[in-house]
Amino acid sequence: DEYFGLQIKGDSMEPAICNNDIVIVHKQEDAESGEIVIASVGQNDATCKRLMKYGETILLRSYNQAYDDIDVTGDENFKIYGKVVESRRKYE
């Protein structure tokens, strides 16, 4: 199995995953509905979101309710890089 780490930038996944947290990601190209993934949509940078599958509809959902869902249904540029398996927070 391959894993990689990323530092989170932003507050879209708060309170579960916060700005500057480190997430450990299992490298894989798909995930189950409800799992947290690192993915990209269109020409945007990678994002950390909860993957939601409803029949033919695929959404990326933030924990922070200030952010709208991202509908990636049928987007040919949508890519999953992996599933978040752990997050780490440093307290200073």
Which residues form the catalytic set? 12, 49
DSSP string covering 41-88, please?
A: -TTSPPEEEEEEEETTEEEEE-SSTTS--EE-TT-TT-EEEEEEEEEE
**Can you tell me the distance from the alpha carbon of 55 to that of 28, in angstroms, rounded to the nearest whole number?**
21
ω into 15 cis (within 30 of 0): yes
